[in-house]
């Protein structure tokens, strides 16, 4: 793509990227940026971070572009939680503006711009795993597996009552929040491996409740998932 002449830029770029291509004083560079934003040739993603209007408008796959933007706004991060669970029809929440939820080892943060809403939840580095690489326009970003998105959602959900397994059972299975039929046998195996890898008492408790629920039902559910 081009910006201010024949200079080639990444899909998303910073002031530092612009300065490397067009060395100038800070005042001159800021002036160029402000004129480009005012003329709508350049769109602001956050302070000091941008995309060209041409790049955004001409992109046919806006979903992947927005996911890629999410990966660039806050690093390191991978897309997970509600966004991935809803994408795979596992979690159903009330209608709301599209929110791309991600995991990071940095502080919890949020961003809002013309392309959407972005939320980043913090986990310790030992929990930062379970994602796959997605290729987009010769770039890459990361998105959680279905199993890791569920793990992350349960791990960070402070409303789950892990001190009372009967109440936890009700929270997981009686309010129709989760569409467990969209979770395959392989997904459950992955989830199980993530729980053991985390060594989390909370997740061990959740695993035990999930296992007890599906002990007599897993064959029917898995058969349905495999044969559908």
Give the pLDDT confidence of 130-182 residue by residue, as tens digits. Answer: 999 999 999 999 999 999 999 999 999 999 998 999 999 999 988 778 898 89
- Same domain as 33, residue 100: no
The total number of structural domains in the chain stands at: 2
Q: In terms of domains, do 176 and 191 share one?
A: yes
Give CA–CA dist 151/146, Å, rounded. Answer: 9
pLDDT at 216 (0 to 100): 59
The conformation of residue 74, written as its DSSP 8-state character, comes to S
Strand order in the sheet with 116-122: 109-113, 116-122, 99-104, 77-79, 139-144, 131-136
Would you place residue 190 in the very low, low, confident or very high pLDDT band (cuts 50, 70, 90)?
very high
Res. 94: pLDDT tops 70: no
Please, are residues 147 and 188 in contact by the beta-carbon 8 Å criterion? yes
Which residue range forms the structural domain that includes residue 52? 13-58
Q: Return the structure tokens found at 66.
A: 């927005």
Question: Does one domain contain both 68 and 48?
Answer: no
Question: Any alpha helices (H) in the chain, and if so which ranges?
Answer: 15-21, 26-38, 53-58, 62-73, 81-87, 146-156, 165-173, 185-198, 201-214, 218-227
Are 84 and 98 found together in one domain?
yes
Q: Indicate whether this model's pTM tops 0.95.
A: no
- Give the pLDDT mean for 186-198: 94
């Amino acid at each position: 793509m081009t910006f201010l002449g024949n200079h080639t830029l990444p899909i998303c770029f910073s002031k530092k990227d612009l300065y490397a291509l067009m060395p100038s004083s800070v005042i001159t560079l800021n002036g160029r940026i402000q004129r480009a934003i005012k003329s709508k040739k350049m769109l602001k993603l956050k302070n000091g971070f941008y995309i060209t209007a041409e790049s955004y408008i001409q992109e046919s796959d806006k979903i992947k572009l927005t996911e890629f933007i999410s990966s660039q706004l806050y690093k390191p991060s991978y897309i997970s939680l509600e966004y991935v669970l809803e994408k795979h029809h596992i979690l159903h929440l009330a209608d709301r503006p599209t929110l791309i939820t991600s995991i990071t080892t940095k502080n919890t943060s949020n961003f809002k711009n013309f392309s959407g809403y972005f939320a980043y939840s913090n986990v310790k580095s030992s929990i930062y795993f379970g994602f796959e690489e997605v290729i987009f326009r010769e770039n890459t970003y990361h998105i959680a597996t279905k199993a890791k998105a569920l793990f992350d959602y349960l791990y960070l959900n402070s409303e789950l009552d892990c001190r009372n397994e009967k109440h936890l059972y009700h929270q997981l299975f009686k309010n129709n929040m989760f569409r467990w039929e969209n979770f395959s046998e392989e997904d459950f195996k992955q989830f199980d491996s993530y729980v053991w890898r985390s060594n989390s008492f909370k997740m061990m408790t959740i695993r035990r409740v999930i296992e007890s629920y599906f002990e007599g039902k897993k064959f029917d559910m898995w058969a349905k998932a495999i044969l559908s």
